Amino acid sequence: MKWLKKNKIKIITIGLILVIVVSLGLVIFLTLPKIELNGEDNVVINVDSKYKELGATAFYLGEDVSDSVKIEGNVDVHKLGTYKLTYVLNKGLAKKKVSRTVVVKDIEAPVITLEGEEEVNVCPNTKFKELGFKALDNVDGDLTDKVETEEKEDAIIYKVKDKEGNESKIERKIVYKDIENPKIELSGGADYTTYLGGKYIEPGYNVTDNCSQELKAKVKVTNNVNMNQAGTYTVTYEVSDEAGNTASIKRTVRVVSRPKGGTIYLTFDDGPQEGTTNKILDILKEEGVKATFFVTSNGPDYLIKREADEGHTVALHTATHNYAKVYSSVDNYFNDLKIVHDRVQRITGQDARIIRFPGGSSNTISRNYSRGIMSTLTKEVINRGYRYHDWNVDSNDAGGANYSSAVYNNVIRGLSSSSTNMVLMHDIKPQTRDALRDIIRYAKNNGFTFAPITMSTPMVRHGVNN
For residue 139, the domain's CATH number is 2.60.40.10
Nearest to 312 by CA among 274, 352, 356: 352
Question: What confidence score (pLDDT) does residue 294 get?
Answer: 98
DSSP H or E segment with residue 413: helix 404-414
Question: What confidence score (pLDDT) does residue 203 get?
Answer: 76
Cα separations in angstroms, 111 against 131, 155, 427: 17, 19, 62
* Average pLDDT rounded to a whole number, residues 47-67: 91
Question: Same domain for 301 and 430?
Answer: yes
| CB-based contacts of 212, cutoff 8 Å, min separation 6 | 178, 182, 241, 242, 243
Work out the percent of the chain whose per-residue pLDDT is above 90: 76
ω before 272 within 30° of 0 (cis)? yes
- What domain count does the chain have? 4
Question: Same domain for 274 and 232?
Answer: no
Nearest-Å Rg of the Cα atoms of the chain is 45
Look at residue 260 and tell me whether its pLDDT is greater than 90: no
Beta bridge partners of 185: 206
Cα separations in angstroms, 309 against 306, 377, 426: 5, 31, 20
Question: Same domain for 215 and 332?
Answer: no
Residue-number span of the structural domain to which 131 is assigned:
111-176
Range in 153-157, 192-196, 315-319, 374-378 the model is least confident about: 192-196
Question: What confidence score (pLDDT) does residue 24 get?
Answer: 58
Look at residue 12 and tell me whether its pLDDT is greater than 70: no
In the chain, the amino acid numbered 301 is D
Domain boundary among 156, 176, 196: 176
- 3-state SS class at 378: helix
Domain boundary among 85, 105, 125: 105
Question: Same domain for 131 and 272?
Answer: no
Residue 210 lies in a domain: yes
pTM as predicted: 0.53
> What is the distance in angstroms between the CA of the first residue and the CA of the last residue of the chain?
152
Question: Same domain for 146 and 66?
Answer: no
**Mean of the per-residue pLDDT values of the chain:** 90
Question: Same domain for 64 and 207?
Answer: no
Burial code of 121-147, b = ≥16 C-beta within 10 A, e = fewer? Answer: bbbeeeeeeeeebebebbbbeebeeeb
Residue 410 lies in a domain: yes
Contact 353, 386 (CB under 8 A): yes
* Average pLDDT rounded to a whole number, residues 320-339: 96
Question: Same domain for 371 and 433?
Answer: yes
Residue 10 lies in a domain: no
In the chain, the amino acid numbered 151 is E
Confidence band for 162, pLDDT divided at 50, 70 and 90 = very high
Look at residue 308 and tell me whether its pLDDT is greater than 70: yes
Nearest to 442 by CA among 412, 464, 418: 412
Look at residue 31 and tell me whether its pLDDT is greater than 70: no
Confidence band for 18, pLDDT divided at 50, 70 and 90 = low
Q: Helices (DSSP H) in 207-313: which residue ranges?
A: 277-287, 301-309
Nearest to 256 by CA among 220, 283, 232: 232
Residue 225 lies in a domain: yes
Higher pLDDT, 195 or 402: 402
Question: Same domain for 41 and 128?
Answer: no
Question: Same domain for 50 and 169?
Answer: no
* Average pLDDT rounded to a whole number, residues 377-392: 95
Question: What confidence score (pLDDT) does residue 248 get?
Answer: 96
Question: Same domain for 324 and 437?
Answer: yes
Beta strands in 47-93 (DSSP E): 56-60, 63-64, 70-72, 81-91
Residue 7 lies in a domain: no
Residue 462 lies in a domain: no
Question: Same domain for 397 and 356?
Answer: yes
Contact 263, 451 (CB under 8 A): yes
Domain boundary among 56, 87, 105: 105
Question: What confidence score (pLDDT) does residue 311 get?
Answer: 94
